[in-house]
């Protein structure tokens, strides 16, 4: 019996510059460095994307989906790239080795190609294999002229087919229209997302976060899921009503290009009362901060609110923190509303945990990749293996 064709989003993360890097460096150190960087990339893409196979200096991953949350896709790609940049820096700084392989770590960069189509999923020798024309297309996209025509070395090349399956406007997000032509395939229109530009913007952007010391009210919920799953559940439109029964309606004012993040807002109805959450800082999968504005008979109450995800050995602890209001007239309101809202959140925590457990169980994520253990005498011996941080 033939396996059924499934709608699939394909993503290949490729360590660029590796062929030239290998030309005159020490092979044993180069292999350690490559294994560490590729492992870190695969870990950062999970669980939204599952590893199909490692292909030398590239990781071929996929996600079964008919429609794509474009905002979440870009969050996943960018966070992976930002983590790669930090990991590359940490690896270089952690080694005292002066060999060419270690000295030339900054020569390596990361690019992505993303495509949406269909594939037959079947198992060969215990591993998931993907077969179909669209699998060929995404691999062909690795051979492109983005660097020559657009002058962008670190990028995500996203096919028009993938854009069509999502809900984002690539032109409004500053992506560059691109086209590749291949024998027996023809034209493949796509968009180039400049990751070097996004890295510079990320490094320059200020942080807005309610720290534990600044919090007037804190609710912490231990869960059994990784930060990626908790982030997606907590920030995806429509999920709020599933675990906060007092929320009767949620509408999302998307940011530029249909993307969630700074500049977007959530409008939540609590019966007849409206609450507006203006997103001020957005750091997948670390924390999100909004300015919550609640209309009261005594005037609006404005409070900074941060949801922070703390990785633990068994999952993630979700910290929901509310800062004290800055206006003196708002403090009496917060003294009444804050503890009452915290009590309501705590009462719904078991339901939130149960839904997150169900969400994780529904994902066919496959086994986690094994972290490499740095050789005692290797270039990475002073560095913890495969850790991506925000």
The CATH superfamily assigned to 207-362 is START domain (3.30.530.20)
Is pLDDT larger for residue 244 or for residue 356?
356
User: Could you give the CA distance from residue 320 to residue 336 in angstroms, rounded to a whole number?
Assistant: 17
Q: What residue spans define the domains of the chain?
A: 5-203, 207-362
**10: alpha, beta or left, given left = phi > 0 and alpha = psi -120 to 50?**
beta
Under 8 Å CB-to-CB from 140, ≥6 apart: which residues?
180, 182, 185, 188
User: Could you give the CA distance from residue 168 to residue 261 in angstroms, rounded to a whole number?
Assistant: 13
Under 8 Å CB-to-CB from 246, ≥6 apart: which residues?
270, 271, 344
- Could you tell me the pLDDT band of residue 271, with boundaries at 50, 70 and 90? low
Are 137 and 9 in contact, with CB atoms under 8 Å apart?
Answer: no
The architecture CATH gives domain 5-203: 2-Layer Sandwich (3.30)
Longest CA–CA separation in the chain, Å:
72
Are 319 and 336 in contact, with CB atoms under 8 Å apart?
Answer: no
Is pLDDT larger for residue 35 or for residue 334?
334
Class of residue 162 by CB neighbours under 10 A (exposed 0-12, middle 13-18, buried 19+): buried
DSSP string, 361-378: HH----PPPPPPPPPTTS
Is pLDDT larger for residue 384 or for residue 144?
144
Is pLDDT larger for residue 387 or for residue 339?
339
Is pLDDT larger for residue 388 or for residue 116?
116
- List pLDDT tens digits, range 161-195: 999 999 899 999 999 999 999 999 999 999 999 99
Is pLDDT larger for residue 11 or for residue 333?
11
User: Could you give the CA distance from residue 177 to residue 193 in angstroms, rounded to a whole number?
Assistant: 9
Q: How high is the pLDDT of residue 381?
A: 53
Q: How high is the pLDDT of residue 386?
A: 44
The tokens for 51 are 């590893």
- Could you tell me the pLDDT band of residue 377, with boundaries at 50, 70 and 90? low
Q: Would you call 298 helix, strand, or coil by DSSP? A: coil
Q: How high is the pLDDT of residue 360?
A: 85
Strand (E) or helix (H) holding 311 = strand 301-311
Q: Give the residue among 7, 220, 234 at the shortest CA–CA distance from 132.
A: 7
Residue keyed to tokens 């493949």: 188
Q: How high is the pLDDT of residue 139?
A: 97
Is pLDDT larger for residue 101 or for residue 15?
15
Q: Would you call 218 helix, strand, or coil by DSSP? A: strand
Which residues is 119 bridged to in the sheet?
Answer: 6
What does pLDDT average to over the chain?
Answer: 85
Q: At residue 202, does pLDDT exceed 70?
A: yes
Question: What is the rounded average pLDDT of the residues 365-384?
Answer: 52
- Could you tell me the pLDDT band of residue 196, with boundaries at 50, 70 and 90? very high
Q: How high is the pLDDT of residue 390?
A: 36
Q: How high is the pLDDT of residue 265?
A: 84
Residue keyed to tokens 């499934």: 6
Question: What is the rounded average pLDDT of the residues 156-160?
Answer: 98
Most confidently modeled of 40-49, 144-153, 244-253? Answer: 144-153
Question: What is the rounded average pLDDT of the residues 265-277?
Answer: 76
Q: How high is the pLDDT of residue 373?
A: 52
């Amino acid at each position: 019996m033939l396996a059924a064709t499934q709608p699939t989003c394909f993503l290949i993360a490729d360590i660029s510059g590796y062929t030239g890097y290998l030309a005159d460096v020490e092979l044993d150190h180069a292999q350690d460095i490559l294994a560490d960087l590729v492992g870190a990339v695969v870990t950062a893409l999970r669980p939204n994307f599952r590893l199909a196979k490692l292909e030398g200096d590239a990781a071929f991953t996929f996600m079964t989906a008919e429609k794509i949350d474009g905002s979440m896709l870009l969050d996943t790609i960018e966070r992976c790239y930002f983590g790669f940049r930090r990991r590359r820096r940490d690896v270089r700084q952690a080694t005292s080795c002066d060999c060419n392989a270690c000295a030339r770590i900054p020569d390596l960069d990361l690019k992505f190609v993303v495509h949406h189509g269909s594939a037959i999923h079947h198992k060969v020798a215990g591993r998931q294999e993907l077969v179909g024309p669209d699998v060929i297309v995404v691999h062909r996209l690795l051979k492109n002229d983005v660097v020559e025509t657009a002058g962008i070395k670190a990028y995500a090349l996203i096919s028009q087919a993938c854009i069509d399956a999502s809900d984002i406007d690539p032109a409004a997000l500053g992506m560059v229209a691109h086209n590749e032509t291949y024998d027996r395939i023809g034209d493949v229109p796509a968009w180039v997302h400049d990751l070097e530009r996004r890295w510079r913007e990320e490094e320059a952007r200020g942080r807005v976060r309610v720290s534990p010391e600044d919090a007037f009210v804190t609710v912490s919920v231990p869960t059994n899921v990784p930060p990626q799953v908790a982030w997606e559940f907590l920030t995806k439109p429509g999920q709020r009503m599933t675990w906060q029964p007092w929320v009767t309606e949620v509408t999302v004012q998307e940011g530029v290009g249909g993307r969630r993040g700074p500049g977007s807002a959530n409008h939540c109805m609590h019966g007849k009362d409206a609450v507006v959450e203006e997103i001020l800082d957005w750091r997948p999968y670390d924390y999100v901060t909004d300015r919550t504005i609640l209309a009261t008979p005594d005037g609006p109450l404005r409070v900074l609110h941060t949801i922070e995800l703390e990785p633990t050995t068994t999952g993630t602890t979700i910290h929901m923190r509310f800062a004290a209001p800055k206006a003196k007239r708002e403090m009496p309101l917060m003294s009444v509303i804050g503890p009452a809202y915290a009590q309501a959140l705590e009462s719904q925590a078991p339901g939130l945990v149960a839904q997150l457990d169900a969400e994780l169980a529904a994902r066919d994520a496959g086994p986690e990749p094994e972290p490499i253990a740095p050789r005692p005498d290797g270039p990475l011996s002073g560095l913890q293996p495969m850790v991506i941080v925000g």
